[in-house]
Structure 1
Amino acid sequence: MSTSTQTITAENVIRLFPDVNPSLAGAHKVPQDDRDLAGYDEEQIRLMEEVCIVLDENDVPIGSASKKVCHLMKNIDEGLLHRAFSVFLFNSDNRLLLQQRASEKITFPDMWTNTCCSHPLGIPGETGSELSEAVQGVRRAAQRKLDQELGIPAKQVPLDDFRFLTRIHYKAPSDGKWGEHEIDYILIIKADVDHQANPNEVQDAKYVSQDELKSMFQDSSLKFTPWFKLICNTMLFEWWDHLDTDLDRYTNETQIRRM
């Protein structure tokens, strides 16, 4: 899961990827006869039109491209990088809400992962070049996607309750065609919420303790998203131990962790 060795700069990205729009807003329509998406779920194909924020390796926005363009391995292997977020939602008993991705998902179907993982979009309110502005953008995106994927009302996850910990830069294939190459903003929130999964996004959801999650990792019949395993193996359990004591010491990191 090493990142691209080529330096990712605005100049290189614009030269290599004609599909990248140097502005952030705008539609990226996926043609109905797109061969890359033939045979996939209709709603998931529509979501491939979403506008992701294309970055240089220092998390500075270059422009935008469709979710489809950003997730093709042929583009990832040439250095196309975008912004993402991962939410870890704990209830008042410090149990973590996991989701199992739907079979309809184009990338990483059927895999267990953290509460919600997605992308801020190249739209007003979710973008930002400065870190503080970008963090607020991913908080808004997280609130939006928790509702869309898990039916969690926005009022139960207020923006100011999302705690930003760090950013990780990682690269991971899903299959031969699709994958991820992201600078992923890690958010933790503690809240007791109502949730009802959108079956096109999530096939199962459940709360787990640390020991229960570790037992799941030992079950060879279960599959996990690479970013979730990466975060768990390096940072999550330490954060979990400090949820109610001194989590502040882990928040608001300015350096990007390269993984």
Structure 2
Amino acid sequence: MNYVLEVNEADEVIGKQEKLYAHQQGILHRAFSIFIFNSQGELLLQQRADGKYHCGGLWTNTCCSHPLPNEDTLAAAHRRLMEEMGFDCELNFVQKFRYKAIMDNSLVENELDHIYKGVYNGEICPNPEEVQAIKYVSWEELQADLQQNPEQYTPWLKLICASVAI
């Protein structure tokens, strides 16, 4: 069974919840979102696999997930970057971001999201169970496409791009 860390508004762990239950009930929990750029300043996006429990087929940031109980958030970010995208690199903390969004299947993302960024130019080997496609886009291209085709992107990517200086 997969668990997420239930947190309060100060990002203090107050318990753990089964992941699906936390998303069904809209329980505030800790998460992370990773933004990887290449040396040309282009952002690596992933298209979530259709089989994901929510937002399948939508484009989103390079990697996003939840730390396991008793796992440091940065360590979890490195672990999931390798599991989802097949590479690891230096990650720098940007900020914490609090958001709540109702997903396409009535699940609720209520997250205190730790945002990390990094630079990577090497080989990418996406896990097909997690990712069905990848692409690099400039920040300007992404902002324009978020306006023109918002239905193609995850709710958290839209919120982060509108509110956080990455």
Global fold match (TM > 0.5)? yes
Q: 1:125-144 maps to which residues of 2 (within 5 A)?
A: 126=71, 137-144=72-79
Structure 1 unaligned blocks of 5 or more = 1-48, 127-136, 240-259
Query: 1:231-259: CA deviations, max 9, x gaps?
Result: 111224xx3xxxxxxxxxxxxxxxxxxxx
Please state whether the residue corresponding to 2:153 is helix, strand or coil.
coil
Structure 2 unaligned blocks of 5 or more = none
Query: 1:152-192: CA deviations, max 9, x gaps?
Result: 1x4xx1xxx31111111111111353121110001011122
Contact kept, 8 Å, 1:98 with 1:206, in 2: the verdict is yes
Separation of aligned partners in 1, 2:67 and 2:104:
23
Cα distance, 1:177–1:234 mapped onto 2, change above 3 Å:
closer
Which of residues 62, 67, 88 is equivalent to 2:19? 67
Contact kept, 8 Å, 2:30 with 2:66, in 1: the verdict is yes
- Quote the residue 2:139 is aligned against: 210
Contact kept, 8 Å, 2:54 with 2:105, in 1: the verdict is no
Please state whether the residue corresponding to 2:20 is helix, strand or coil.
helix
Moved more, 191-200 or 103-112: 191-200
Which of residues 213, 230, 245 is equivalent to 2:159? 230
Contact kept, 8 Å, 1:112 with 1:222, in 2: the verdict is no
Separation of aligned partners in 1, 2:104 and 2:156:
15
Cα deviation for residue 212 of structure 1 reads 2.2
- Quote the residue 1:52 is aligned against: 4
1:85 and 2:32 correspond: yes
Cα deviation for residue 143 of structure 1 reads 0.9
1:173 and 2:102 correspond: yes
Which of residues 179, 194, 202 is equivalent to 2:123? 194
Contact kept, 8 Å, 1:100 with 1:204, in 2: the verdict is yes
- Matched residues, number: 166
Please state whether the residue corresponding to 2:164 is helix, strand or coil.
helix
Cα deviation for residue 114 of structure 1 reads 0.6
Separation of aligned partners in 1, 2:105 and 2:46:
24
Identity in percent = 42
- Quote the residue 2:53 is aligned against: 106
Please state whether the residue corresponding to 2:152 is helix, strand or coil.
coil
1:122 and 2:74 correspond: no
CA RMSD of aligned residues (A): 1.6
- Quote the residue 2:81 is aligned against: 146
Contact kept, 8 Å, 1:107 with 1:179, in 2: the verdict is no
Contact kept, 8 Å, 2:143 with 2:161, in 1: the verdict is no
Q: Which has the higher contact order (CA 8 A, sep 6+)?
A: 2
Matched AA of 1:70: A
Matched AA of 1:85: F
